[in-house]
Chains A and B, each alone.
Chain A
């Protein structure tokens, strides 16, 4: 059916009483996600969204009371590292961090601590996960996708929506869409998600949306060439970005010759990935 999240996902929202947290919790509930708890320190005992979701002071108490197994975090950047460590310490299996603008040194320490604890992190600075018809964890607009057999993994946010939208317009459906985020240090990588799609009996083909900076696409190319049997179609944003310039995402910086779009496209193509010239060409390449 899907990877990472499904109908059985019991979700906890960190930062549920904030503007973004509250709005997107209502969107997730409307989509059918089982949101079982929220956490905002100092607001334990309250209920939000017409009494639908109980709020707790700590993740530990929320997990004990509700059995939540997944957390999505809208906690502001300066408190976000702490929020991830808290969820990990409370043995939450999957953390999805939407927050953008987290200092990179915080992320290096968090990632190391989460690895020791064995917690899976998606993000930060990501739109989250969507398994159409089953569950939505994050901020991807639910109505632009329908259930199907194409797996999507992306470092981008709105560019991912663009691709989902054009797939739906071409009558194609999605098993799970995973936004891994655009930061230089994040949790789940392209390779992690590709291997899950390879194992998932309900995913037939995969779309990979990358961008300039880092070497995650190069690692994905090696994995695809060595271990994947399912066809992969890709798009890499930033072909026209000048080197050395920061293009919004902390991650989208081209550093001295590495991380160039042209190089990523070359290695992906030689791994058998068909690369689209523009995002709206992806459905055509999947046919």
Chain B
């Protein structure tokens, strides 16, 4: 789960990381009031869960409260990469001398956390990683020992940070590690971490991603979820414990297991079709869960054909069949449906579906081919 900049920075501040004074607002008048409080010169920053806000014009410097309100009115009406801006963060403007980068994430290959720093912070950090990788310094962290101060000194030295800032830098690194651990983050990033002309270190921007599997032990973070930023289908899927990702094609897929769901999409594509979604009903799904899963697909107006591929292990095919029938009854959909059921209780499942108007396939390849051909038949010549 991604957090907004303002949420991330509030959490940083709780762990002793200095951040600019500022507040979040949803209307321009509020922005004017906040700017007045902060002394007039502020930065108005769109809060959307996507990168490239600055380049899209979603981050603007205002010289006066009036100016701030005007810019906020514009930004609050914008869409950035398809996401409407509903909130802005109003931060005091600071005098930037230098921008550095500091972040922590999971190093999958080494199976441990890794702290990353660079002297070249700012919007082009990914470009730096490509063109000048030596400027990106990594410190792996022993999962049992945790972050140690000597590693902070190593990083400060490696990015050639002037020594007068080391104490402050090490305290920020420690705070960022604590944030990462205490929130079960998979990413906690300060970019840029600025050195002001007055000589202070300040987290100007912040980004956090939280491990969904750990949200049960962080109810206060789970509540921060911005449901406006989710596709309605994805929200519905999450409610029923389904794993769903909307895609651009027209063949709706309902599969058990993530690997098989991806393979099913691949085979559809191999036969010239385009999957409309990834949908994994998980292991041992109930009829209710299957009904909700199929409902999500049937309500997607892009879907022309549905492909159901179930390999029953823990999942029982008769249970799946019952869920399919319930969904069809509820939606009275006339979409062609191709079903392939194999494994636990597949005979019972097929019997249940025999009366419904569906095409059955024996293999995955056959099912994918049938679905792809059905789409072509439906396409206007």
Contacts and interface: CB of A to CB of B under 8 A. Distances in A.
A277 interface: yes
A7 B365 CA distance: 36
A125 to B, nearest CB: 9
A78 B217 CA distance: 9
Interface stretch (B20-28, B88-96, B115-123, B264-272): B264-272
A280 B369 CA distance: 13
Nearest to B216: A78
Interface of B: 106, 108-109, 111-113, 126, 142-144, 181, 184, 186, 211, 213-214, 216-217, 243, 245, 247, 255-263, 265-270, 275, 278, 280, 283-284, 311-315, 342-344, 363-365, 368
A109 B213 CA distance: 16
A77 B275 CA distance: 31
B280 to A, nearest CB: 4
Contacts of A105: 106, 113, 143, 181, 184, 211, 214
Report the 10 A-B pairs with minimum CB-CB distance, sorted nearest first. A156-B259, A248-B258, A158-B257, A159-B259, A103-B214, A248-B243, A237-B262, A108-B143, A248-B280, A158-B260
A47 to B, nearest CB: 24
Interface of A: 20, 77-78, 100-109, 111-113, 127, 139-141, 144, 154-162, 165-166, 182, 184-185, 209, 211-212, 214-215, 235, 237-242, 245-250, 252, 256, 277-280
Contact of B363 (A77, A109, A127, A280): A280
B96 to A, nearest CB: 27
A141 B262 contact: no
Given A140-B313, A241-B265, A182 B258 contact: yes
Contact of A162 (B211, B263, B284): B263
Contacts of A144: 343
A247 B342 contact: no
Nearest to A185: B111
Given A105-B184, A160-B259, 13 more contacts: A78-B217, A108-B106, A112-B144, A156-B259, A158-B259, A158-B311, A211-B259, A211-B262, A235-B263, A240-B262, A240-B266, A246-B243, A249-B258
B278 A248 contact: yes
B143 A247 contact: no
Contact of B259 (A77, A237, A246): A237
A108 B259 contact: no
Contact of B314 (A139, A155, A252): A139
Given A103-B184, A185-B108, A157 B283 contact: yes
A215 B109 CA distance: 7
Contacts of B213: 77, 101-104, 250
A111 B106 CA distance: 14
Nearest to B366: A280
Contacts, number: 164
A101 B216 CA distance: 11
A101 B247 CA distance: 24
Contacts of B263: 156, 159, 162, 235, 237, 278-279
A104 B211 contact: yes
Contacts of A242: 245, 247
A247 B261 contact: yes
25 contacts: A20-B314, A103-B211, A103-B213, A103-B214, A104-B213, A107-B111, A109-B143, A111-B111, A139-B283, A141-B313, A158-B259, A185-B106, A211-B262, A238-B262, A239-B269, A240-B266, A240-B268, A241-B262, A241-B278, A245-B245, A245-B278, A247-B262, A247-B280, A249-B258, A252-B262
Nearest to A249: B258
A158 B255 CA distance: 10
B311 A161 contact: yes
A247 B245 contact: yes
Nearest to B255: A158
Contacts of A239: 266, 269
A127 B106 CA distance: 25
B258 A184 contact: no
A162 B364 contact: yes
- Candidate in B126, B265, B311, B312 with the most chain A CB atoms within 10 angstroms: B311
A158 B115 CA distance: 36
B106 A247 contact: no
A99 to B, nearest CB: 11
A100 B243 CA distance: 13
A101 to B, nearest CB: 5
